Structure 1
Amino acid sequence: MTRRHGYGLLAAMVTLVVAMSAAIYVGATLDDGSRHTRAVGQARGDSGNDIAPASTGAWVGTWSASPVEGEPGTEVQGLAGRSLRNVVHTAAGGTSARVTLSNLYGKQPLTIAHASIAVAATENSAAADARTMRRLTFGGSPSVTIAPGRQIVSDAVRVAVPRDSDVLVTTYSAVPSGPVTYHPRARQISYAALGDRTEDPHATAYTEQTEAWRYVTALDVLSTEANGTVVTLGDSLTAGSTSTVGANSRWPDVLADRLHAAAESGADVPRYSVVNQGIGGNRVLRAGGKGTPAPNASALTRFGRDALGRTNVKVVVIDLGVNDILRARDPRTLRASSIVAGLRELVAEAHGRGLRVVGATLMPFGGFHGYSATTEALRQAVNTEIRSGRVFDAYADFDKALRDPYDPRRFRADYDSGDHLHPSDKGYARMGEVFDLEDLKGAAPAQL
């Protein structure tokens, strides 16, 4: 071989490697929790708010969950050698699907050797309908490496995803990856199995159970049922803490069902899906831990990623502020105006994207261990501002709907889970029922 031909072959090989690397990393976006994080849709080459022609449908979020922190016990090995089968529940059906995987809290690259998606054979099970099992690819490759602090969106795969169904998203990593980015206290059981069982439709090997979602943070579908997404941003009251595990009885679940039923009946309501970005303990102003990125990032920090960055978002619903009050170092030095200012900042950022924002009053917590005359006064002051109409475009009065009429500092007894902070399933249903669907219509007010 001549030197010239050798150089030519070497150049061709380099070009091929570069092309393959570009394909593997296509769709990767920064996932550091920054409120200015570039939307995933922009990384895919679309605006994130564009609607596909009616003949093909529109990409919408059918499920999502916010990354919270690195899973304890996975700091070194991650969960290498295990297939992680996440069970997620859909708010809208579609003819194609794509998945977002996050390595936000990873400290080293995460290599996913294989991943799959399938519709569950039955609810709350690791068994898949074998006819729907599909291998996920990333830039055409069955494997992908996600850098620390980043996320990636899979290629779209053709699969019929029914609304109000369980979907299984399974990942397998063969090598240690460090901390597993996860969402704990999911109120949904997911599964794990030894070895690469990503395309195994049977549940037999999936003997490990966890109430957490690992790596997966979003499922989008190409839908003819919905043409936009409602993002509900909140704390444990939105995440559904104390609701029945596996029952999908969080208030955003109830809202999604109501919105779909109303649209199907011909009511003049938006045809939107609903996704849940609630994190237990979340606050408007401060993170829930130390580190870079911080665990349980504040709403002001995660807003770009968890709200504005969701697929085809049209409306953001914000139910936050209780933890700013209850977890304050000294409630006597906290000002309700600080919480309200934070909420207004979120609204302004959403308005800058042309998005409508609906808020919620803070529900009572009398009887909870953080209750005092000071914390009650702060709650009332925040609610007064919300009811004034000077914070959100519209609001749901969850406080009025769930409080005891004879002692408005507390929940009505049948709406109380028993801890005096979180609702019962009946209470969550009430929240979803009193939400005015008309409030989801329209866009942000014109900027003067």
Structure 2
Amino acid sequence: MTSGVLRPAARDWTGTWEAAPSGTVPGLPGATVRNVVHTSVGGSAVRVRISNRLGTAPLRLGSLSVALRKPGATVTADAVAGSLRTATFAGAESALVPAGRDLVSDPVPLRVPAAADLLISVHTPADSGPATYHRAALQTNFLARHGDHTRDENGRAYSATLGNWYYVTGVDVFDAPAVGSVVALGDSITDGTGSTFGAHHRWPDRLAERLRGLPPGRRLGVLNAGIAGNRLLRAGVGPDALSRLDADVLSRTGVRALIVLEGVNDLKGTPEQLDPGAFEDAYRRIVRRAHARGIRVIGATITPYGGHGAHTRARETARQAVNAVIRTGGLFDAVADFDAAVRDAGRPSRIRPAYDPGDHLHFNDAGMRALADTVDLAALTPRSVLP
């Protein structure tokens, strides 16, 4: 795949945050959910993606607002005074989202910094059936059980907390100092399991920190499409990686690059998948579809999980074979060798103890940083020539 020269986006939209739908839960009729999301890049306006992708009936939105979170208010739902904006959909404050669909708001004029918390408040006045959500937010979100509190700057009405993101699955920013976005497609490792709750220490968060240090002609927003329990070859938690590729990667805003870390749940799941050829075929199909959209694809090797209850010698042999395909098969534009970065030199089927939160599968904050540091930033975009 050949790559042209990129220039900083000129007054265009860039993806700054994503949460891939992982399932449904009962809706919250009459309530308001205040979702807290963390930007990777900033801009002069925002727009919000609301999802009813996994719902079975039209989703009625009563109102939606966006605000900056009050600095230091990590356990409250308070907004920065004067920052709250009501979002519209085709000019209307309420909207109906068909079952199986997403809906993107009109632009909301609000200057948003990079690495900032946004409060996205959604009021659902009636029962619209199962709610599309992202289960593992690793972030405290807030619930006002009764009434429309989307316009409240003060968070007192939000008397309950949630560990999930409801309905909100994406945020774009306008006129970002960046050339687009990179999507991390993965499972619980990408979703952040093992990292510190509320600290934004998932490896895609750490990657965003690194990218913010680059000049605008090479900077990217980071979109986390990780779903705990997700698989490459068959449905697990959420659709399989190929089935959700369009919705969670290819249709997202300004995507320039994709990092694929999928496969460990296929190896250790039921039924187990041990044929390296099946993995190779799935990776090849992901790359082909991404290349058709001009998106570069970085393949990440599957990390060790020796010592975990699901680990067996046969599965380890298969993991090594799949990693050999990723490293030497010529499938990807570049490789991020996560396995080499985090394995224990003395016991290469296991994670280094310094990176292991105790389950021998996921990563603590130090391990997440090691994964992010393995990504070659130059592989995400070609070197740009600034105008």
User: Could you say which TM-score interval applies, normalised by the shorter chain?
Assistant: over 0.9
| Equivalence map 1:23-42=2 (5 Å) | none
Please tell me whether the aligned partners of residues 8 and 178 of structure 2 are also in contact (alpha carbons under 8 angstroms).
no
Q: Give 1:393 deviation, angstroms.
A: 0.8
Q: Give 1:227 deviation, angstroms.
A: 2.2
Please tell me whether the aligned partners of residues 9 and 176 of structure 2 are also in contact (alpha carbons under 8 angstroms).
no
Q: 1:371 is paired with a residue of what secondary structure?
A: coil
Show CA shifts across 1:85-116 (max 9, x none): 00000000000000000111221111111110
Partner of 2:68: 119
Partner of 2:3: none
Give the whole-Å Cα distance in 2 for the aligned partners of 1:144 and 1:118: 20
Asked if residue 170 in structure 1 is aligned to residue 121 in structure 2, the reply is yes
Partner of 1:323: 265
Q: 1:195 is paired with a residue of what secondary structure?
A: coil
Asked if residue 436 in structure 1 is aligned to residue 376 in structure 2, the reply is yes
**Stretches (4+) displaced over 2 A:** 50-54, 122-125
| Equivalence map 1:19-418=2 (5 Å) | 54=10, 57-71=11-25, 74=26, 78-123=27-72, 124=74, 125-193=76-144, 194-263=146-215, 270-288=218-236, 296-331=238-273, 334-418=274-358
1:424 pairs with one of 357, 364, 382: 364
Give the whole-Å Cα distance in 2 for the aligned partners of 1:394 and 1:328: 30
User: CA 1:246 to 1:229, structure 2 compared with 1: closer, same or farther past 3 Å?
Assistant: same
Show CA shifts across 1:171-194 (max 9, x none): 101111111100011111111102
Q: Output the amino acid matched with 2:222.
A: V
Please tell me whether the aligned partners of residues 9 and 175 of structure 2 are also in contact (alpha carbons under 8 angstroms).
no
Show CA shifts across 1:12-71 (max 9, x none): xxxxxxxxxxxxxxxxxxxxxxxxxxxxxxxxxxxxxx99973xx221011011011111
Partner of 1:12: none
Please tell me whether the aligned partners of residues 85 and 191 of structure 1 are also in contact (alpha carbons under 8 angstroms).
yes
Give the whole-Å Cα distance in 2 for the aligned partners of 1:415 and 1:52: 36
Q: 1:299 is paired with a residue of what secondary structure?
A: coil
Q: Output the amino acid matched with 1:323.
A: N
Please tell me whether the aligned partners of residues 233 and 282 of structure 2 are also in contact (alpha carbons under 8 angstroms).
yes
Q: Give 1:311 deviation, angstroms.
A: 0.2
Deviates more, 1:321-330 or 1:84-93: 321-330
Q: 1:411 is paired with a residue of what secondary structure?
A: coil
Q: 1:158 is paired with a residue of what secondary structure?
A: coil
Q: 1:325 is paired with a residue of what secondary structure?
A: helix
Q: 1:341 is paired with a residue of what secondary structure?
A: helix
Deviates more, 1:223-232 or 1:111-120: 223-232
Identity of aligned residues (%): 43
Show CA shifts across 1:297-316 (max 9, x none): 00010001101010011111
Q: Give 1:254 deviation, angstroms.
A: 0.6
Q: Give 1:330 deviation, angstroms.
A: 4.2
Q: Give 1:285 deviation, angstroms.
A: 1.1
Q: Output the amino acid matched with 1:106.
A: G
Q: Output the amino acid matched with 2:136.
A: R
Superposed CA RMSD: 1.6
Give the whole-Å Cα distance in 2 for the aligned partners of 1:149 and 1:85: 23
Give the whole-Å Cα distance in 1 for the aligned partners of 2:7 and 2:95: 28
Q: Give 1:328 deviation, angstroms.
A: 3.7
Structure with bigger gyration radius:
1
Please tell me whether the aligned partners of residues 58 and 228 of structure 1 are also in contact (alpha carbons under 8 angstroms).
no
Please tell me whether the aligned partners of residues 115 and 137 of structure 1 are also in contact (alpha carbons under 8 angstroms).
yes
Q: Output the amino acid matched with 2:156.
A: T
Q: Output the amino acid matched with 2:207.
A: L
Please tell me whether the aligned partners of residues 303 and 343 of structure 2 are also in contact (alpha carbons under 8 angstroms).
yes
Q: 1:132 is paired with a residue of what secondary structure?
A: coil
Q: 2:44 is paired with a residue of what secondary structure?
A: strand
Please tell me whether the aligned partners of residues 52 and 58 of structure 1 are also in contact (alpha carbons under 8 angstroms).
no
Give the whole-Å Cα distance in 2 for the aligned partners of 1:83 and 1:192: 6
Give the whole-Å Cα distance in 2 for the aligned partners of 1:420 and 1:319: 17
Give the whole-Å Cα distance in 2 for the aligned partners of 1:393 and 1:277: 20
Please tell me whether the aligned partners of residues 360 and 397 of structure 1 are also in contact (alpha carbons under 8 angstroms).
yes
Please tell me whether the aligned partners of residues 262 and 302 of structure 2 are also in contact (alpha carbons under 8 angstroms).
yes
Give the whole-Å Cα distance in 1 for the aligned partners of 2:154 and 2:329: 53
Please tell me whether the aligned partners of residues 184 and 226 of structure 2 are also in contact (alpha carbons under 8 angstroms).
yes
Q: Give 1:262 deviation, angstroms.
A: 2.7
Give the whole-Å Cα distance in 2 for the aligned partners of 1:144 and 1:110: 8
Q: Would you say how many aligned residue pairs link Structure 1 and Structure 2?
A: 375
Q: Output the amino acid matched with 1:166.
A: D
Q: 1:304 is paired with a residue of what secondary structure?
A: helix
Q: 1:160 is paired with a residue of what secondary structure?
A: coil
Give the whole-Å Cα distance in 1 for the aligned partners of 2:166 and 2:177: 28
Q: Output the amino acid matched with 2:306.
A: G
Please tell me whether the aligned partners of residues 52 and 97 of structure 2 are also in contact (alpha carbons under 8 angstroms).
yes
Give the whole-Å Cα distance in 2 for the aligned partners of 1:88 and 1:205: 19
Q: Give 1:340 deviation, angstroms.
A: 1.6
Q: Give 1:131 deviation, angstroms.
A: 1.2
Q: With structure 1 as the length reference, what TM-score do the two structures score?
A: 0.81
Please tell me whether the aligned partners of residues 89 and 165 of structure 1 are also in contact (alpha carbons under 8 angstroms).
yes
User: CA 1:52 to 1:434, structure 2 compared with 1: closer, same or farther past 3 Å?
Assistant: closer
In structure 2, runs of 5+ residues without a counterpart are: 1-5
Give the whole-Å Cα distance in 2 for the aligned partners of 1:273 and 1:130: 27
Give the whole-Å Cα distance in 1 for the aligned partners of 2:267 and 2:295: 27
Q: Output the amino acid matched with 2:126.
A: V
Please tell me whether the aligned partners of residues 109 and 145 of structure 1 are also in contact (alpha carbons under 8 angstroms).
yes
